[in-house]
């Protein structure tokens, strides 16, 4: 096995969140997605404001009824007032229903657009990014975080504005009714504002922590599902369950901290206004008894104050949802701000190889590679690689475990970028070619085959260009000795399931090999593609592969002498360097390290 970089699912692998970030400034980054639906959102906000203010007219109707028809004992006036109240209530309900209808469809579109952009961006990010980030963290950003953003745009964003306008309008109405009672109601304003400011800062930190922990928990669940065979095979279900419980317990503790903060702000926001309303009731009753204030005015004043309870009480959870949305936005753009692979505008390599044999085929020119986030003082994985694979030639790459074979093969399709030096295909520097044209020329098959939740045919034809069909599929399956596919329940139309776990390791490896050869590639890179096959199947695959290798230029990572013998020449990779190049028999005679590697393999095979 060659050197691959270890991945991690630890939260420390993520970028550190900014501690001084402004929630408003963060949320403004959503504007490009909101802009296309801004008319409907602004209309919905206006409709909600009208609906809320319609509710404030009800106390004025009550004042008219108490001071008028009720005081005058006029039944007709009372019925007329009741009709007014019914119509106002219906109007308020219909307007709020209209607001919900206005925002539902466009916000679902905003969420879908953001998720599509995130997915496209993830496909363009370099392998170094995917090595560094846990998949669960990415999944939580594409699901939970985007759901929080849709909920924020649908409710808190609108109602922070609507409730602010409603509170101001209600206070104006109360001050117009009686300024002394209005000042009593305004008394809690300062402590409520201070509480909100303190709450916002503390809640932001806890909300970020909770959402990161959701990502960690998602990673554990995903790994447990994908690794269910290992867990069951080694009886590790208890330890996995223990790890899950610990993360769940940690997340539960964080959610309880959020709940405590929310209960604290609610205690202040609910209690102080209620005390103010009680004081206004006592003072107003005294004024009515003294004849200073009419009963209808007191009823209207208290009804307005009670109508403002919901806008005031909701401040706490609206701020909480806004902070969670700001955190979700921050997490989303942490991924979107990552630089994608640099796009190279180039033309596809076509036609015959150049006449100069020194530049034709696949060539490594003094290539050095170090992982991008490796410490500067660490030695490179590969150093001063000079290797030339001539057109139509097959070269086996042999080396001890950890020598860098897989890393070297990953440089050809630019899954990783060279640190220095260059790689050419028929004289064309691969960095000057677009990735699309490069990967149309180079086909790869890895030692650990990856299959997708699709049919057998779809998995194989993924390696072919547009227009490939049944003949190309059958040819590739024949080369890979994958005739077993015809015995599956639906033949090549059988769904292989997630990661192809319904198939054996050898079957998955043969399908991956078929995917590599189906497009008749000019250049073929095979990373020990036959390691999971039995001796007889391996021999049959090798016999079919010889015909393919005669038509292409190939680099083959090999461990077994039988695979090495497929190649015209062999390159020995040792300590990140090419230590020797020659035929299998030449290296057996002249290179002790190669002879040792091959003798160990032969003994294992015997």
pLDDT at 291: 82
Report residue 300 as tokens. 């209207």
Question: Which 8-state DSSP code applies to residue 37?
Answer: G
Nearest alpha carbon to residue 307 among 297, 299, 318, 296: 299
Q: Is 27 helix (H, G, I), strand (E, B) or coil?
A: helix
Nearest alpha carbon to residue 405 among 345, 447, 452, 349: 447
Rounded Cα distance, 538 and 67, in Å: 98
Confidence class for position 360, pLDDT limits 50, 70, 90: confident
Calculate the average pLDDT of the chain.
82
pLDDT at 19: 47
Pairing of strands 428-429, 382-389: unpaired
Rounded Cα distance, 11 and 21, in Å: 20
Rounded Cα distance, 416 and 5, in Å: 12
Rounded Cα distance, 137 and 419, in Å: 28
Contact 381, 371 (CB under 8 A): yes
Q: Which residues of 89-103 are buried (b: 16+ CB within 10 A; e: fewer)?
A: eeebeebbeebeebb
Higher pLDDT, 543 or 3: 543
Query: Which percentage of the chain shows pLDDT scores above 70?
Result: 90
Helical H segments across 66-134, by residue range: 75-124, 127-132
DSSP one-letter string for 179-206: HHHHHHHHTTHHHHHHHHHHHHHHHHHH
Confidence class for position 467, pLDDT limits 50, 70, 90: low
Domains, the chain, with CATH or none: 23-336 (1.20.1560.10), 362-605 (3.40.50.300)
Rounded Cα distance, 503 and 509, in Å: 10
Q: Does residue 348 register a pLDDT over 60?
A: no
Question: Which 8-state DSSP code applies to residue 9?
Answer: -
Q: Does residue 459 register a pLDDT over 50?
A: yes
Confidence class for position 345, pLDDT limits 50, 70, 90: low
Lowest mean pLDDT among 21-25, 203-207, 563-567, 579-583: 21-25
**Count of C-beta atoms within a 10 Å radius of residue 35:** 11
Rounded Cα distance, 45 and 110, in Å: 17
- For the sheet containing 394-399, what is the strand order? 442-445, 523-527, 553-557, 394-399, 569-574, 577-582
User: What is the rounded average pLDDT of the residues 292-318?
Assistant: 83
Per-residue model confidence as pLDDT tens digits over 409-456: 989 988 888 989 999 998 899 988 888 888 888 888 887 778 887 888
Per-residue model confidence as pLDDT tens digits over 546-559: 888 888 899 998 88
Rounded Cα distance, 524 and 516, in Å: 8
Confidence class for position 81, pLDDT limits 50, 70, 90: confident
Per-residue model confidence as pLDDT tens digits over 191-207: 888 888 888 778 888 88
Contacting residues for 286 by C-beta, under 8 A, at least 6 apart: none
Nearest alpha carbon to residue 205 among 324, 316, 317, 321: 324
Q: Taking the model in full, what pTM does it have?
A: 0.74
Rounded Cα distance, 593 and 599, in Å: 10
Token pair 């085959």 in the structure block, residue: 449
pLDDT at 3: 37
Nearest alpha carbon to residue 448 among 366, 532, 383, 379: 532
Per-residue model confidence as pLDDT tens digits over 256-265: 998 888 888 8
How many CA atoms, within 13 angstroms, populate the side-chain half-sphere of residue 429?
Answer: 11
Contact 164, 196 (CB under 8 A): no
Nearest alpha carbon to residue 498 among 232, 225, 140: 225
Report residue 195 as tokens. 């509480």
Confidence class for position 398, pLDDT limits 50, 70, 90: very high
pLDDT at 602: 44
pLDDT at 21: 60
- What is the length of the chain? 606
Q: Does residue 363 register a pLDDT over 90?
A: yes
Per-residue model confidence as pLDDT tens digits over 475-506: 888 888 888 888 888 888 888 866 666 677 77
Phi-psi region of 19 (alpha: psi -120 to 50; beta: other; left: phi over 0): alpha
**Count of C-beta atoms within a 10 Å radius of residue 238:** 9
Q: Does residue 241 register a pLDDT over 70?
A: yes
State phi, psi for 373 to the nearest 5 degrees. -100, 15
Contact 463, 519 (CB under 8 A): yes
How many CA atoms, within 13 angstroms, populate the side-chain half-sphere of residue 476?
Answer: 31
Per-residue model confidence as pLDDT tens digits over 131-162: 888 888 888 888 889 998 998 888 888 888 88
**Count of C-beta atoms within a 10 Å radius of residue 330:** 21
Higher pLDDT, 603 or 405: 405
pLDDT at 573: 92
Contacting residues for 225 by C-beta, under 8 A, at least 6 apart: none
Could you give the C-alpha distances from 6 to 3, 127, 132, 239, 563, in angstroms and in order? 9, 12, 9, 22, 28
Confidence class for position 386, pLDDT limits 50, 70, 90: very high
Token pair 């497009």 in the structure block, residue: 519
Q: Is 528 helix (H, G, I), strand (E, B) or coil?
A: coil
Rounded Cα distance, 190 and 266, in Å: 15
Confidence class for position 605, pLDDT limits 50, 70, 90: very low
């Amino acid at each position: 096995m060659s050197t691959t970089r270890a991945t991690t699912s630890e939260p420390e692998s993520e970028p550190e969140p900014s501690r001084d970030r402004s929630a408003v400034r963060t949320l403004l980054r959503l504007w490009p997605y909101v802009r296309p639906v801004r008319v409907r959102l602004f209309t919905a906000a206006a409709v909600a404001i009208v609906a809320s203010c319609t509710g404030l007219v009800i106390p004025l109707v009550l004042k008219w009824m108490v001071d008028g028809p009720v005081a005058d004992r006029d039944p007709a006036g009372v019925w007329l007032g009741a009709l007014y109240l019914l119509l106002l209530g219906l109007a308020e309900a219909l307007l709020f229903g209209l607001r919900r209808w206005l925002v539902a469809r466009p916000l679902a579109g905003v969420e879908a657009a953001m998720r599509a952009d995130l997915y496209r961006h993830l496909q363009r990010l370099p392998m170094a990014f995917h090595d560094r980030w846990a998949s669960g963290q990415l999944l939580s950003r594409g699901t939970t975080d985007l759901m929080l953003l849709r909920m924020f745009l649908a409710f808190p964003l609108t109602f922070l504005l609507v409730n602010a306008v409603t509170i101001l309008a209600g206070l104006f109405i109360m001050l117009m009714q009686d300024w002394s009672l209005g000042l009593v109601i305004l008394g809690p304003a300062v402590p409520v504002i201070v509480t909100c400011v303190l709450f916002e800062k503390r809640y932001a930190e806890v909300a970020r922590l909770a959402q990161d922990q959701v990502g960690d928990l998602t990673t554990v669940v995903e790994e447990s599902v994908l690794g269910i065979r290992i867990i069951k095979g080694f009886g590790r279900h208890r330890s996995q369950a223990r790890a899950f419980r610990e993360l769940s317990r940690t997340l539960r503790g964080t959610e309880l901290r959020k709940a405590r903060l929310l209960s604290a702000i609610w205690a202040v926001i609910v209690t102080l206004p209620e005390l103010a309303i009680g004081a206004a009731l006592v003072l107003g009753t005294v004024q009515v008894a003294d004849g200073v204030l009419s009963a209808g005015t007191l009823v209207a004043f208290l009804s307005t104050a009670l109508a403002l309870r919901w806008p005031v009480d909701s401040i706490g959870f609206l701020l909480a949802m806004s902070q969670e949305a700001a955190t979700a936005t921050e997490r989303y753009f942490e991924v979107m701000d990552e630089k994608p692979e640099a796009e190279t505008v180039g033309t596809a390599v076509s036609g015959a190889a150049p006449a100069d044999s020194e530049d034709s085929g696949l060539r490594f020119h003094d290539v050095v590679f170090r992982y991008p986030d490796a410490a500067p003082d660490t030695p490179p994985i590969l150093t001063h690689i000079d290797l030339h694979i001539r057109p139509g030639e097959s070269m086996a790459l042999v080396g001890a475990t950890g020598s860098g074979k897989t890393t070297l093969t990953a440089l050809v399709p630019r899954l990783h970028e060279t640190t220095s030096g260059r790689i050419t295909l028929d004289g064309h520097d691969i960095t000057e070619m677009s990735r699309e044209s490069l990967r149309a020329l180079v086909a790869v098959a890895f030692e650990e085959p990856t299959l997708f939740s699709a049919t057998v045919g779809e998995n194989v034809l993924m390696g072919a260009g547009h227009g490939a069909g049944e003949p190309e599929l059958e040819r590739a399956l024949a080369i890979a000795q994958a005739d077993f596919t015809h015995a599956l329940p639906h033949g090549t139309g059988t769904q292989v399931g997630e990661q192809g776990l319904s198939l054996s390791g050898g079957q998955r490896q043969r399908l991956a090999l078929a995917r590599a050869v189906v497009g008749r590639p000019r250049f073929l890179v095979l990373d020990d593609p036959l390691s999971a096959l039995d001796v007889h199947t391996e021999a049959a695959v090798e016999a079919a592969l010889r015909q393919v290798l005669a038509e292409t230029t190939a680099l083959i990572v090999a461990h077994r002498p039988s695979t090495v013998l497929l190649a015209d020449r062999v390159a020995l990779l040792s300590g990140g360097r090419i230590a020797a190049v020659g035929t299998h028999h030449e290296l057996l005679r002249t290179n002790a390290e190669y002879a040792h590697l091959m003798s160990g393999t032969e003994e294992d095979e015997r």
